[in-house]
């Protein structure tokens, strides 16, 4: 497995197929995708997991974190998220955060992220903002 930066366009198909399979590809594009740093985890040159990091000052947000459904639970996403957290630390950010699907909060807690009281709903899915001091 290896992690490397990829283009925003390279993230879209995996984002769509994992996160919003019932929506078209336009649904997973972010208005400010061009401002993000996009990472992909590859296994034998096959893209298995993607995540996008957006840094503003000393704060970093990761978004659109998706791992191919056939590879979930095998450490691909964990490897990628740990990599991105370390990248954020190297950029001297103080806080990393995400909009987590509520059913994934236990997963993010394993990385030291704590849920806030801020919640919202998008596309029928419940979210909570989670963060961690770096």
| Residue 91 domain-assigned (yes or no) | yes
> What is the number of structural domains in the chain?
1
pLDDT band at 115 (very low <50, low <70, confident <90, very high): very high
Residue among 54, 124, 120, 125 at smallest CA distance from 91:
54
| Residue 106 domain-assigned (yes or no) | no
In terms of residue numbers, what domain contains 89?
A: 2-97
Residue ranges in 5-124 assigned as alpha helix (H): 8-19, 76-90, 105-109
pLDDT digits (tens, 9 = 90+) for 52-108: 999 999 999 999 999 999 999 899 999 999 999 999 999 999 999 999 999 999 999
| Residue 125 domain-assigned (yes or no) | no
| Residue 85 domain-assigned (yes or no) | yes
Q: Give all strands (DSSP E) within 30-124, no chain letters.
A: 37-43, 46-56, 59-67, 95-101, 114-122
Q: Are 129 and 113 in contact (CB under 8 A)?
A: no
| Residue 53 domain-assigned (yes or no) | yes
Percentage of residues in the chain having pLDDT higher than 90: 90
| Residue 14 domain-assigned (yes or no) | yes
CA trace torsion 91, 93, 97, 98 (10° rounding): -30
pTM check: above 0.85? yes
| Residue 60 domain-assigned (yes or no) | yes
Cα dist from 110 to 78, 81, 102, 113, whole Å? 9, 11, 14, 7
| Residue 66 domain-assigned (yes or no) | yes
What is the CATH classification number for the domain harbouring 80? 3.40.630.30
Above 90 in pLDDT, residue 51?
yes
Q: What's the confidence (pLDDT) of residue 92?
A: 96
**How many CA atoms within 13 Å lie on the side-chain side of 55?**
14
* Order of all β-strands in the sheet with 95-101: 2-6, 37-43, 46-56, 59-67, 95-101, 125-133, 114-122
Above 90 in pLDDT, residue 15?
yes
Q: What's the confidence (pLDDT) of residue 123?
A: 85
Q: What's the confidence (pLDDT) of residue 35?
A: 96
């Amino acid at each position: 497995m290896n992690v490397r930066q990829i283009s925003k366009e390279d993230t879209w198909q995996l984002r769509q197929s994992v996160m919003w399979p019932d929506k078209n590809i336009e649904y997973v594009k972010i208005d400010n995708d061009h401002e993000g740093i996009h990472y992909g985890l590859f296994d034998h040159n096959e893209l298995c997991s993607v995540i996008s990091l957006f840094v503003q000052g000393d704060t970093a947000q990761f978004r659109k974190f998706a791992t191919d459904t056939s590879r979930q639970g095998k450490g691909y996403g964990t490897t990628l998220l740990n990599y991105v957290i370390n990248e954020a630390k190297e950029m001297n950010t103080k806080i990393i955060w995400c909009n987590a699907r509520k059913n994934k909060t236990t997963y993010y807690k394993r990385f030291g992220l704590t849920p806030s009281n801020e919640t919202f709903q998008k596309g029928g899915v419940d979210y909570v903002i989670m963060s961690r001091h770096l």
